[in-house]
Structure 1
Amino acid sequence: MGKWLKLLVRLGLVLVIVAGAFYYWLRPLLVRIESTTLADGIHVKFKTQGMNVEEYTNDAWQPYFAKGINMGATIPGHYPGELAISEDEYERWFGMIQDMGANVIRVYTIMMPEFYEALSKYNMKHQKDPLFFLQGVWSPEEQLIEGQDAFDPKIKEKFEQEIKDAVAAVYGKTTLTPEPHSGKAGGAYKYNAGPYLMGWIVGTEWDPKMVKGTNELHADTPDYAGKYFSSTPGANAFEKWLALMVDTAAQTEIQYGWQHPMAFANWVTTDPIAHPGEPLVEEDMVSVDPTHIEAVNWEAGYFASYHVYPYYPDFFAFDKSFQEMTNSKGEPDSYYTYLNKLKAAHSNMPVMVTEYGVPASLGVAHLGTLGRNQGGHSEKGQGEIDVELLGQIHDSGYAGAILFTWQDEWFKKTWNTQRYDEADRRAYWYNTLTNESFFGVLGMFPGKDEAIHIDGDAADWDKLKDKTKLDIQASGFEEIWATHDEGYLYLEAKLSEPFDPSTESINFGVDTLPGGNRHGPELHGMVLDEGLETLIQLSDDTRSRMTIASNYDIHARLYERAGLPAVDPKEKLDDSGIFKPWKLAVNYLLEYPDSRVNHPFGDVEVGILERGYSDPARPDYNSKTMWQVQGQVLEIRIPWMLLGFSDPSSLSVINYTQPNKNKFEMTHVKGVRLVPWIVKQNQIVGQENSATAKQVAVSAMPLYTWQGWEDKVNYVERPKQSYYMLKEALHKINGPITTND
């Protein structure tokens, strides 16, 4: 009897384990996701109808506006493809996203398995109001650009496999090998997130030269007639290739018992609209037209997906034909005009803007009209523009607006700073000049974001353990302290008397390398034994800035042969005595035949140091604040790149060597030396009657140094002001502006 009892107990345990495992893997399928079922048993939750996307809910099809946000794949200190974001972290983010008012997340590529499992678990807890997602499929972008032929068998096969892998990952039916160096995720995909899918977006932004090359190589390619998607008469070769890829996605998905709306990624550069005022030929070279592909026996339908920013390409600023419409303020608005023209070019199909927005950053990469630049915005300024763009997209009758993006990602690069930093170290520090990293509404701030608030109050410094007192004897200063984090060098100074910015200025010369300026007008007669690379000048709100020694001027050295006006030979000399504004390029010199019209090289000053308060709890908070003084207490934070650093985590700076083939050489340094002085009524404090005081031994100044960090970073996650501004705007949108009868 005991033997049989033990056997029954063991059998019971086995059944419990099997049942538990069965429930674990199938419980997403047990959740009731309201959908309609086709005759062949295929489920449909979303479909396109005329100009709208519709959701099946409350036993009927209802118009649906995708209030979305794009989500990246990583956090500070990591690159895409690394297992960096935990399941718990995803679930917490999903709650924040839904609380903000978004109803859909768009991801660009196959995410790590934790994303799909976390989303499924989150939605099981929110069955009455689930959070949906748009799944992107990353195309072999580099191979396409290099080969200039989408029909290359290796490229075609690789993309088709990526599509099949993406579908299998979403439905929890595959195991993929991760490739961290290429950004490809992997692992065991066992959780079925398919019931929460809203649609598919196949591919990435298309290189116009590649599209043109493909069309020319395969001009005789026959129309594509697929099982679910076909090209239409008049489609070019690349569009036929895309029809094949979208059809591949459909044929793969239906095997899992579902249909979802399909689209391919597109952007303004390859839209079907003519841009007669676009100066750069490549930006209006070729069209990729979504209307040249149609759904065949695909009940879920097909929509168009575009990335539309207000500052790129340049026709947004130059083309008068795109300034015909006025916005709600009565201003000629190229973005609003474009939205309406793009919508009109897609008759009888829904169109979504699946990327829009501006970054909150110090750096700027392009200039747009109405101040909608790519960068240079505070968090509040970012929010104001993002809200305005969202309203225009919605009011223009689009089926959705997907903001770029949810979280800041430090690893990103931008065209006008990527030659100033070390590519394999970008993820390990916070470079506010690289605007591409800071489109997020969830800020990822450097480690001391909560420990130090720039407000002219030394109380937070009193609590710091990792700070260094600099033994500098300088008139007007009682003591100077320094510390640092992943984003800034911080200074706190106690002055001898209260500071009056209307009559005096505080200056810090910074030395990192041998060379630079040892004299100059800004030094007011001082002669140094070692040169300064950069100079900080703090006075009133309009004159506080960082400048750079002319022979160390990174900007001038890089772009002198690329359209920047000729540099005076005197400025190239060591100890020129000239300090130049710290600038970033915003456009190259455009000349025929690359452009239709000539347009001069453009740049902007980014060394302006704003005075304000960096405490987000204050009503007068300004995220771009770099300094503040109250009475005798001065606080300042200095972005690393403005000091010439290419990677502060390894104490690496750009050196004086002339760039070779647009690439700077880097040098590891021991730290920085600071030379402080105060100028009052055009006279340095403490030097009125002392000739010898003009000789300054910079080499004898204390060196502020730090231990470099390899791959472990500290950061602070915090919603930006823009998050709360978008939250208010998103909650006011309840559906599309127009519906079909």
Structure 2
Amino acid sequence: MKRNIKLRVSLTIVIALLIGYFGWQHFRPLSAEGTHVRSAKLNNGMNVKFRTQGDQIELYDGQEWQSFFAKGVNVGATVPGHDPGELNIDKKTFMRWFSQIQELGANVIRIYTIHEPVFYEALVEFNEAHPDSPLYFIQGVWSPESQMIKTHDALSPLVTKEFKKEIIYAVGAVYGDVNIPEETGKAQGRYKTNAGPYLLGWSIGTEWDPVLVQATDKAHPGMEPFKGDYFRAKAGATPFENMLAEMLDTLAAFETKQGWQHPYAFTNWVSTDPLEHPGEIDRAEDLVSVDPMHIEPVNWQAGYFASFHAYPYYPEFFRSDETIKNVKNDKGEIDTYKAYLRLLKEHHKDVPIMVTEYGVPASLGIGHITGLGRNQGGHTEEEQGNIDADLLREIVQENYAGAILFMWQDEWFKRTWNTQDFEQPVDRRKYWLNVLTNEKLFGLVGMYSSKDGPLLIDGKLDDWEKIKDKKKFDPGVPGWKTMWVTHDEAYVYIAAELDQTFDPEKQIMYIGADTMEGGNRHAKELGDRTLGEGLETLVTIGKTLESEVRIASNYDFTTRLWGTINGMAPVEEEEMRDDSGVFKPWRLIVDMEFSPPAAKIYRPYKDLPAGQLKRGTTDPSSPDYNSLTMWQAQGNVVEMRIPWMLLGFADPSSLRAVNYVEKDGKIQNQKVDGIRLVPWIVDRATNQVTGLGDGSAPVDLSKMPKYKWKPWNSVQYEERLKQSYYIMQKAFQDIGDGSQTK
């Protein structure tokens, strides 16, 4: 009783505060008049376009209710060069994207937070021009993460007040009935366009931190179930679930004032799902449950559904849990993702459930590994599309109500756990594209760096003539005519023109990179030559398994962070001295060492090669196109592109490279003035080194070409549809309305 009184007082206070925020826009009930949308009318006068019925979503077509499978994409809030809080996407871009999303075969887009007014204006304009095939949307409401982190209690007044404010603003934004004041990192402005008739439903919140959920539950023992006018918590609901019921009820209270009802959900993910995972190694990943079945609607005829982010590679139980290795897919393979979908569906009886995030990225770097090759990264665009299509089919087969792919566009600002410690400063990630960071490259729309397209890796020099900011060097070594070098936001590009044909079966090409004092001055790859200054990294171009970027062992910042600092990776002491003469393969961690009690069983440290250079072509019009191509040779021309981080860069836009210093448990970096490039070729038959003198004296690197560039604070990029777009287009067409394969 006391709790309910406090909640009503809290809601009254929030309403009063909002009068001060935007001058109290009176909430006027809006019908679907003026649009092509046909909605059903409830006895209480509410408009309903979508509703839940059993375990399915239904759409009213003007005459009857029909089953509706939500197939779509998540759309982010920004483009390269900007943080998501800048919300800088213009109307022209939205209109182009909506057209491409429609052509993809999608019927729904999902957004995570309130967008600028232009989003809702563009969506309504687009749909009014396409009345027979509109794009519906799911509106997300971002949870107050900073307040949750500060209080470590999702039921604190600071959190609930901010959450309710965000919900009320979101309702006003969707229905074009609010003036949101300026606040850093959030949408703002006067919202005048009513997009409510095109709304499929709401999904509030974000992926919940299990530790936060546990702390909230412990802070409020014995809480009575929340009872609202539209949503309530069932007996046995946890305090965190009570908070969610309260937020859904707040949303319903304000949406009814607009004359509409829509299906509601809260965002959830595997780490806080209601299932038990006996094979999960990390105890934190099976710590608590947030169960949609502990909340139910009352006096809300549009209904309620469950929304889950579910990927096939995280958490670890997808590869370690023997209890879910009992289901086979259409190919006859043991498929733990399909088994998980089945268990999750069984739990949510008579409630529709959507997978509102799924997919894999087309990136060079890998963050997590799992079965069936569905890793978090390491995929070409074609592989990305095939895996995404397989996941879609499995979601449909398990009788889900929708599948929303992550992601529509690539997002340069994103970070990943196994590269984030090297990408510094963090506020400049948006200015460059680290292809080792898988999170940046989930999109069906590729946000390519500015020369990835105009400058093709195909072993030809014709396109180099059109590049204005290239540098032409005379390497000053026998066998090399010229070296061309340029760069963009993702790569350093190098083209070598030799005196004779390059044959990787007979020769190995090396290009050393020197960015600062230190590194290897001698190495087996140098033969009997010694350099006057050391190399940090070494590019090798040869046979398939030889072509890679390697890193001086004492500079290897993966080993330094996870071995020297964190004590997980093996460390060979002799390799950590300056000029060790050892170049190690560039690697990324995929498993931290884990021991009880944090883990149920011991898990060893594991890393994977990340510096491989694939031979092929980056020409998207070629049948041999491979998005992960890094080099090609034709005749006497060898052409390559090297990702910035493989050359040691923490932020090329401010000329900062990782250095040899560790401080306070962190890898440090410093500003450099360029990259010294040291080229040579070794003949396989004779081991003869072409270039670098005769070995009688140390090689003076000051005479070698040094590539310099200016820092940048804005970006150019090439936007185009990936191969995965067309594969998913066919997959969407194949499933139709989602009923054929059920």
Give the TM-score range, shorter chain: over 0.9
Among 123, 140, 146, the residue aligned to 1:142: 146
1:167 to 142, 167, 171: 171
Q: Which residue type is aligned with residue 447 of structure 2?
A: M
Whether 2:589 is the aligned partner of 1:585: answer yes
Taking the aligned partners of 1:637 and 1:721, their CA distance within structure 2 comes to: 20
Give the partner amino acid of 1:309: Y
Q: For residues 378 and 147 of structure 1, what CA distance do their matches in structure 2 show?
A: 42
TM-score, structure 1 length as denominator? 0.94
Please name the residue that 1:259 is paired with. Answer: 261
1:271 partnered with 2:265: no
Equivalent of 1:707 in 688, 710, 726: 710
Aligned partner (choices 292, 295, 312) of residue 293 of structure 1: 295
Cα distance, 1:178–1:378 mapped onto 2, change above 3 Å: farther
1:601 equivalent in alignment to 2:605:
yes
SS of the counterpart of 1:599?
A: coil
The whole-number CA distance in structure 2 between the counterparts of 1:120 and 1:95 is 13
**What are the superposed Cα offsets for residues 287-320 of structure 1, whole Å, 9 maximum, x if unpaired?**
1110110111111000000000000000001001
Tell me the amino acid that sits aligned with residue 129 of structure 1. S
Scaled by the length of structure 2, the TM-score of the pair is 0.94
Is 1:451 the counterpart of 2:415 in the alignment? no
Give the distance between the partners of 1:692 and 1:250, measured in 2 at CA.
79
Which of 461, 473, 480 in structure 2 is aligned with 1:477? 480
> In the TM superposition, what is the alpha-carbon distance from 1:669 to its structure 2 partner?
0.8
The equivalent residue for 1:567 is 571
The one-letter code sitting in structure 2 at the alignment partner of 1:494 is: E
- Matches of 2:360 and 2:318 in 1, distance apart? 15
| Matched AA of 2:542 | S
Q: Which residue is equivalent to 1:409?
A: 411
> Structure 2: how far apart are the matches of 1:738 and 1:594?
44
Paired residues of 1:558 and 1:659 also in contact (CA < 8 A): no
The 2-side partners of 1:689 and 1:384 are apart by: 46
Partner of 2:211: 209
Deviation at 1:40, TM superposition (A): 2.1
2:581 maps to amino acid: G
Counterpart position of 1:85: 89
How is 1:292-311 mapped onto 2 (pairs within 5 angstroms)? 292-311=294-313
Take 1:426 and 1:689, find their aligned partners in 2: how far apart are those partners? 37
Equivalent residues of 1:80, 1:185 under 8 A apart: no
* Aligned-partner residue type, residue 352 of structure 1: M
1:120 alignment counterpart = 124
Please say if 1:732 is aligned against 2:734: yes
| Distance across 2 between alignment mates of 1:68 and 1:459 | 41
Taking the TM superposition and a 5 Å limit, the aligned residue runs for 1:419-498 are 419-421=421-423, 422-498=425-501
SS of equivalent residue, structure 1 residue 621: coil
Identity rate of aligned residues, in percent? 51
Deviation (angstroms), 1:687: 5.3
Query: Which sits farther off after the overlay, 140-149 or 497-506?
Result: 140-149
Q: Which residue of 1 aligns with 2:341?
A: 339
Partner amino acid for 1:241? M
Name the structure 2 match of 1:368.
370
Aligned partners of 1:28 and 1:191 also within 8 Å = no
Find the aligned partners of 1:37 and 1:683 in 2 and give their Cα distance: 85
Question: Where does residue 723 of structure 1 map in the other structure?
Answer: 725
Determine if contact 1:475/1:686 at 8 Å carries over to the other structure: no
Matched with 1:383 is 385
Structure 1 ranges of 4+ moved more than 4 A = 26-29, 682-690
CA distance in 1, matches of 2:723, 2:604: 36
The CA deviation at 1:660 is 2.3
Structure 1 residue 277: Cα displacement: 0.3
Q: Distance in 1 between matches of 2:528 and 2:267?
A: 60
Cα pair 1:110 1:137 within 8 Å, conserved: yes
Partner of 1:550: 553
Equivalent in 321, 338, 341 of residue 323 of structure 2: 321
1-structure distance, mates of 2:149, 2:182: 23
Gap change, CA 1:588 and 1:143, over 3 Å in 2: farther
1:318-340 Cα shifts (integer Å, max 9, x gaps): 00111110111111110010000
Preserved contact between residue 202 and residue 265 of structure 1 (Cα < 8 Å) = yes
Distance 1:689 1:613 in 2: 30
CA 1:86–1:318 in structure 2 vs 1: closer, same or farther (change >3 Å)? same
Query: Which residue identity is paired with 1:217?
Result: A
Residue 669 of structure 1 is matched in structure 2 by 672
Alignment of 1:29-40 (within 5 A): 29-40=33-44
Q: CA deviation at 1:562?
A: 2.8
Residues of 2 paired with 1:211 and 1:521: CA distance? Answer: 54
Does the 8 Å CA contact 1:28/1:120 hold for their aligned counterparts? no
Q: Output the amino acid matched with 1:409.
A: E
- Conserved in 2, the CA contact under 8 Å of 1:81 and 1:178? no
**SS of residue paired to 2:661:** coil
Give the distance between the partners of 1:115 and 1:438, measured in 2 at CA.
23
**1:523 counterpart residue number:** 526
The CA deviation at 1:524 is: 1.3
Q: Distance in 2 between matches of 1:350 and 1:687?
A: 67
Residues 14-72 of structure 1: per-residue CA shift (max 9 Å, x gap): xxxxxxxxxxxx99851131110112221000000001000001411000000010010
Output the CA distance in 2 between the equivalents of 1:507 and 1:652.
24
CA distance in 2, matches of 1:602, 1:178: 46
Secondary structure at 1:158's aligned position in 2? helix
Partner of residue 194, structure 2: 192
Shift of 1:638: 0.5
- Whether the aligned pair in 2 keeps the contact of 1:101 and 1:731 (CA below 8 Å) is yes
Distance 1:135 1:565 in 2: 43
* Letter matched to residue 627 of structure 2: S
1:396 and 2:374 correspond? no
Q: Secondary structure at the match of 2:632?
A: strand
Aligned to 1:638: 642
The correspondence of residues 2-21 of structure 1 with structure 2, limited to 5 A, is none
Separation (CA, whole Å) in 1 of partners of 2:478 and 2:129: 64
Corresponding residue for 1:10? none
Tell me the secondary structure at the aligned position of residue 411 of structure 1. Answer: coil
| Residue aligning to 2:7 | none
1:713-737 deviation line (CA, Å, top 9, x unaligned): 1100000000000001101222233
2:32·2:39 contact (CA, 8 Å) conserved in 1?
no
Residue 658 (structure 1) aligned with residue 662 (structure 2)? yes
Amino acid at match of 2:287: M
- The answer on whether the counterparts of 1:28 and 1:124 sit within 8 Å (CA) in structure 2 is no
C-alpha distance in 2 between matches for 1:682 and 1:557: 36
Q: In structure 2, what is the equivalent of residue 21 of structure 1? A: none
**Does residue 66 in structure 1 map to residue 62 in structure 2?**
no
